[in-house]
Amino acid sequence: ERSKSLALIGEMAAGLAHEIRNPLASLCGSIQMLQKNLELDKTDERLMRIILRGRDQLENLVRNFLLLARPNLDGRQEINIKYLMDDILESLRHSPDWHENIKVVMALSDQTGIYGNMTEIKQALWNLVLNAVQSMSNSGRLKIETRPVILDNLKEYLEIRISDNGCGIEKDDSSKIFEPFYTTKERGTGLGLAIVNRIVESHGGKIRIESELEKGTGCILLLPRNKGAWESRIANG
């Protein structure tokens, strides 16, 4: 039933993304051309920012739908999680969601390599780190840990743990957090964790969430460290 549900969502998402992408590209191109030749007063500048923000939201939505529908099985390569996480944190520090009083604790193992698609893994980690940051109101601790592990198929994986001491997750919500479109946020789309789950599954990995209300949340990823581990997980379903 879950496979059927994902297949249906995939078909809907791909069709919707296709129908939106072409007119969106035309709109974006026209806006950029108009913006170059306009001298705007304060009111019109504010309106232009609203238009550009709406454009960005639509582009993100289309990209998220495509990630949910069809994870890319090509473009797999060796990825250093340390460098990827440094890049994500640097970008987030300049975003409006970041709080100056957040303390970042990094506890990375010597071995931080995995095998996967760089763009998709970065998107998955970005979503998890952003969720952790948003769960902490004005201050808190964001902890990122890694360690190599060997699973029952005797293949090597990297465990990535992203934890916070934020608001936590209600027990009633914990069973639904990976469902597409399920969200408890006012302005959330409910696609973030669904996309993370889809990406992790397509990489032959695993994900689990540990959370306690008002104490924090830990997201634990297991991702293959080499091509052999990835092929083994995919072959075994």
Percent of the chain with pLDDT over 90: 23
Report residues of the chain scoring pLDDT below 70: 2-3, 6-7, 9-10, 13-14, 17-18, 57, 60-61, 63-74, 153-154, 180-182, 184-190, 227-237
Nearest CA among 14, 12, 125, 129 for reference residue 63:
14
| Helix (H), strand (E) at residue 232 | helix 227-235
Q: Is 140 left (phi over 0), alpha (psi -120 to 50) or beta?
A: left
Whole-structure pTM value? 0.72
The widest CA-to-CA distance across the chain, in whole angstroms, is 65
